[in-house]
Structures are given as C-alpha cells and as structure tokens.
Amino acid sequence: MINSRAFSLFVCFILLFSFNASFAQDAPKPIDVKINIVTGQVKLTRVGKTLSDVFTSAFPLYAGDIIETMRESKAELTYADGTNMRMKPLTKIQVQDSTLKVFKGQTWYKFTKRGTEFLIETPSLVAGIRGTVFDISVTSKGKSMLSVMEGKVAVKGTKGNEVLVDQGAAVNCEPGGEPSNTYTFNIEKKKNEWLEGEWLSASGGDLEQYFINYLNLKAEYGPQDPRTLDAQRQLEDAKKRNSPSPIVPISPPSENRSPFRK
C-alpha cells in the first residue's frame, strides 16, 4: 500500500515537473524594445494568440508579437542599442530580437553600428543591416521598395542573389523575384517624408486624437461595442471642453441706478 502510494506521488511529481517545464518553454519571451504610439492606435496580436487588442498607449512587447498601425495612426519602436524604427498608418510588422518582418506598409529605420547583423524580411526580400538609415515600403501585393539615405544595405531576393544598395540608391523586388538594378532617388524629398517634427507624440487632450480613436474602434469592433461607446463618450466630452464659452453681453448700468447720478 505504501509503495503504491509512493509510486503515485512520484508519477504526479513527474507530470507536474513536465508541465512546468513545458509551460516555461511556451511562455512568451520579452524583448527589450519600447513602443511609442505617436498618434492614433495600434492593434496588437500577442504571440500564440488569434484575437487582437487595440491600444492607444505603450505596452510591453514579446518575441513574435504582431503590431499594426490603424488609420491615421503612427508608431515608433526603440531598441536597447538605440536603433529606431517608425511605422506610418496601416503598417503591419512582427517583432523579434534580431529580426523584423514587414507584411505591409511604410517603415523607416535608423540603425546604430551593430556587432551583429539585423535582418528585415518582407514578402519579397531580406535586408541585412549593421548601421544605416533607410526606409522600406511594402504594397498589398507584396512588392517591396527599399531606399537608402545613409550607409549601405545588403538586399537578397527569394533566390538568394545579393545586391548591395549604397546611399542615394534604391531597389524594388516582386514576390518570388530578385532585386532590381539599383536606381537613384531624391534623398531630400525622401527625408521630408520622415520629418522629425511629425514624430512628436500628440497631446493626450487633442480633439483630433479622440476622433481618430473613435473611428478606429468603430471600424474594428462595431458601433455598439463597449469600447467604441466609451471612445464616443470621450470624444463628446472633449468637444465640450474645447467649445468656446458663450459670451454674455454686459449691459451698461441703468441711469436710474447709477450711484453717480445726482
């Protein structure tokens, strides 16, 4: 009886240990990347999850998370080594420690000099970076365009042929194809697309921000969802706060009540 009980306890211990070990392996791995939602909202799909949540403020990131900027929304990622990435509206990416997948949209990067290579993958190319400034645009059909403003970027297509793109040069690549020959572009015009001043966080009380939040939640969850209704209430409150106070006309004092009348 005692041996049977001891054996049962031993089996339970083994099962519990195996479960804890499996849970530890499956637990998401945090990454040292900070997100700043400049304006609007970001949709987050946690690694291993299928449902998404919409955020208007920063949240922790884990390897494998998918984030997407919504309409009229912009976000910025900052890595521990100072590497900076910007996302324009309707851009979708997946974050990892030393790789980044861009599914669609427009992104901008400023990499500090790194000891290891950082890879950026799109549906049609892979870019290897150590230190440079460039941007990548990915269309809804997966075509990618890469433009280098500083430094150099090594670009590969699906067949592995590598093209080195220098400062002032750009390439494009179709899904299943190889990078095009490099061509020049207007660097100043490209820099104007990513002006520093446009990436300053909007004021929390900005009426336009409340309006964007409401429209995005309405499109994502529907008009009767509690989150949409709460955003609508915040928008109405903001409108009231921003409405100018009515001007009450001041009538001149009545002659028969003037203290100076003799």
Give the tens place of pLDDT for each residue, 199-227. Answer: 876 555 578 888 888 888 888 889 888 88
Closest-CA residue to 136 (of 102, 97, 92, 186): 102
**Residue 7's pLDDT is what?**
53
Closest-CA residue to 124 (of 141, 99, 105): 141
Question: Domain range holding 214?
Answer: 207-241
For residue range 77-95, list pLDDT tens digits in order.
Answer: 999 888 999 999 999 999 9
Q: Are residues 127 and 213 in the same domain?
A: no
pTM of the model: 0.78
CB 62 within 8 A of CB 31: yes
* Average pLDDT value for residue range 84-112: 94
Is 21 inside any structural domain? no
Number of domains in the chain: 2
Q: Are residues 219 and 193 in the same domain?
A: no
**Residue 196's pLDDT is what?**
85
**Residue 8's pLDDT is what?**
58
For residue range 125-142, list pLDDT tens digits in order.
Answer: 999 987 899 999 999 999
Going by pLDDT thresholds of 50, 70 and 90, the confidence category of residue 22 is very low
**Residue 20's pLDDT is what?**
47
Going by pLDDT thresholds of 50, 70 and 90, the confidence category of residue 184 is very high
For residue range 222-236, list pLDDT tens digits in order.
Answer: 988 888 898 888 888
Q: Are residues 72 and 176 in the same domain?
A: yes
**Residue 107's pLDDT is what?**
97
Q: How far is CA 138 from the centre of its chain?
A: 15
Q: Looking at the predicted structure, is the pLDDT value of residue 23 above 50?
A: no
Higher pLDDT, 5 or 72: 72
The HSE-up count of residue 68 (CA atoms within 13 Å, CB side) is 15
Is 216 inside any structural domain? yes
Q: Are residues 155 and 226 in the same domain?
A: no
For residue range 146-179, list pLDDT tens digits in order.
Answer: 999 999 999 999 888 899 999 999 999 999 999 9
Q: What token pair was written down for 114?
A: 């790194």
In 96-220, the DSSP E strands lie at 99-110, 118-121, 126-129, 133-138, 144-150, 153-156, 162-165, 169-173, 183-184
Going by pLDDT thresholds of 50, 70 and 90, the confidence category of residue 112 is confident
Q: Are residues 159 and 87 in the same domain?
A: yes
Q: What number of other Cβ atoms are within 10 A of residue 99's Cβ?
A: 14
Q: Are residues 94 and 212 in the same domain?
A: no
Is 11 inside any structural domain? no
DSSP label of 62 = B
Is 221 inside any structural domain? yes
Q: Looking at the predicted structure, is the pLDDT value of residue 19 above 50?
A: no
For residue range 41-78, list pLDDT tens digits in order.
Answer: 999 999 999 899 999 999 999 999 999 999 999 999 99
Helices marked H in 88-225? 187-192, 207-221
Q: Are residues 169 and 215 in the same domain?
A: no
User: Please, which residues bridge with residue 109 across strands?
Assistant: 85, 134
DSSP label of 88 = -
Final residue of a structural domain among 183, 199, 215: 199
Q: Are residues 148 and 211 in the same domain?
A: no
